[in-house]
Amino acid sequence: MRRVALVALVFLVFAPAARAGCGLASTPVIGSAPLAVTFTATCESAVYSWDFGDGAQGTGRTVTHIFPAGYWHPTLTSDGGAEPAHPVTSISLGLSGPPTARYAQRVTLRATVTPRLPITLNGRRFVAGRLSVRVLGPAPWTARAGNISAVIRIRVTPKLVVKVVGSPLVGQKLRVVATLHPAAAGAVIAPKLIDTSVARLAHIEVRTRPAPGWAAVHEIVTAQIVLPTLRYGDKGASVGELERQLARQHYAIRRDETFGSEDLEAVYAFQKVHGLARTGVVDAALWRRILTSGTPAARYPGDHAEIDKTRQVLFIVRGGKVALVVATSTGATGNTPLGTWHVYRKVGGFDWVLYYPSYFLRGFAVHGYPDVPPYPASHGCARIPMWIATTVYSLIPDGSAIYVYA
């Protein structure tokens, strides 16, 4: 028994001591790639050999190595043997998304990371490198992996809503109401009111002065400024516009914003010239025709008067162009004589029931008369409205040519 104990004692005395590790210190080993890490051996050794795990090696008690993206296991070999250093996590994190998006639009953000680590954004985890988000403002989007973050910004286009409120009739109030969603996206620049003084297709520009991070918005809206259906007895700006349009085309008209007999006769004349039903009512279809028409053409050159029996209108022509269009009513039986005639007698006032007549053949004359219907109704003369009779009288002096045709 004593011999066995002695052998054990001898073994304990002469057995080699177990090697203790060298000991290591390092700067932070988790960070953004490329990551520089400095390692320091804390023991005394004749040799310090480093294997950084990424294929690179180094020597020295203190070494610094730049690690590419990845998860690395460096080791140190010293007199104390080989021992692992702290694992290194060098993280490369990328984040991308659309440069712009509409307010409240859902978009997909994409993220990549090396080494493979969970990627989160506001507590939500990317799946297969993708995350769907709703864009509600220009705040930065920040993805995180480990202790590394990646940031992108998306310029947001707000929603601009423009409405035209009010009556689109000539002379009425028509407002522009523009709202920006969200309101913090900027300031809206737009006219408050639309000019409704004339019938037209109005183009209204609305734009924004954007707040930081928001895109500017620009929109053009249209408003059709129309005139109401007008008939005898109506008054107002719409009637004034009708009178302006007819005067532009040289129809005999009195401009007083009242749809009186003068306006009615001018509307009849327009409808006659264009072969339309002689209703005397200005509806939407007639408005479109009036707004797009011009002065009718004369048939003959020079200075003269023309009586068109088919259309029941009288033209005063100057230099081959129509200077005045007047409603007329010729012979009910079609007896107003066709041909080229000349004024041979004039009466400044009443001649029996004829007002300011200009005779061109026997008892046939151009004259004012209280009743000028939109169809042939006279005994053979060319009736014209009383209010314009003196004007026409002055425009066809003695000797003036009068062409009567069908």
177-219 tens-digit pLDDT:
999 999 999 999 999 999 988 878 899 999 999 999 999 999 9
CATH topology of domain 94-157: Immunoglobulin-like (2.60.40)
Judged against a pLDDT cut of 50, whether residue 6 lies above it is answered with: no
122 contacts 74 by C-beta, under 8 angstroms:
no
What is the distance between the terminal CA atoms of the chain, rounded to a whole angstrom? Answer: 157
The residue assigned the tokens 């002096």 is 397
CATH pick for 304-405 out of 2.40.440.10, 2.60.40.790, 3.40.50.620, 3.40.50.10860:
2.40.440.10
CATH topology of domain 20-86: Immunoglobulin-like (2.60.40)
Q: Checking DSSP bridges between strand 382-385 and strand 321-327, what pairing results, if any?
A: unpaired
Judged against a pLDDT cut of 90, whether residue 98 lies above it is answered with: yes
Peptide bond into 34 cis (omega under 30): yes
Percent over 90 (pLDDT), the chain: 86
Query: 390 burial class (0-12, 13-18, 19+ CB within 10 angstroms)?
Result: middle
Which whole number is the average pLDDT over 234-246? Answer: 90
Output the average pLDDT for the chain: 92
**Residue 387: in which H helix or E strand, if any?**
helix 386-395
The two structure tokens encoding residue 168: 């689109």
188 contacts 160 by C-beta, under 8 angstroms:
yes
Q: Residue 291 — very low, low, confident or very high, per pLDDT cuts 50/70/90?
A: confident
Q: What are phi and psi of 109, to 5 degrees?
A: -95, 145
Closest CA to 229 of 256, 196, 200, 267: 267
Q: Do domains 94-157 and 304-405 have the same CATH topology?
A: no
What is the reported pLDDT for 333? 96
Closest CA to 152 of 163, 138, 164: 138
The residue assigned the tokens 């797009």 is 292
The two structure tokens encoding residue 308: 């068109």
335 contacts 312 by C-beta, under 8 angstroms:
no
Closest CA to 247 of 271, 274, 267: 267
Closest CA to 306 of 350, 266, 341: 341
CA 276 to chain CA centroid, Å, is 38
396 contacts 366 by C-beta, under 8 angstroms:
yes
CA-based radius of gyration for the chain: 49
**What is the biggest distance separating any 2 CA atoms in the chain, rounded to whole angstroms?**
175
Each domain of the chain, given as residue ranges in start order, spans: 20-86, 94-157, 164-225, 237-292, 304-405
Least confident window among 13-22, 268-277, 319-328, 342-351: 13-22
Query: 242 burial class (0-12, 13-18, 19+ CB within 10 angstroms)?
Result: buried
Bridge partners, 102 (sequence order): 157
Query: 300 burial class (0-12, 13-18, 19+ CB within 10 angstroms)?
Result: middle
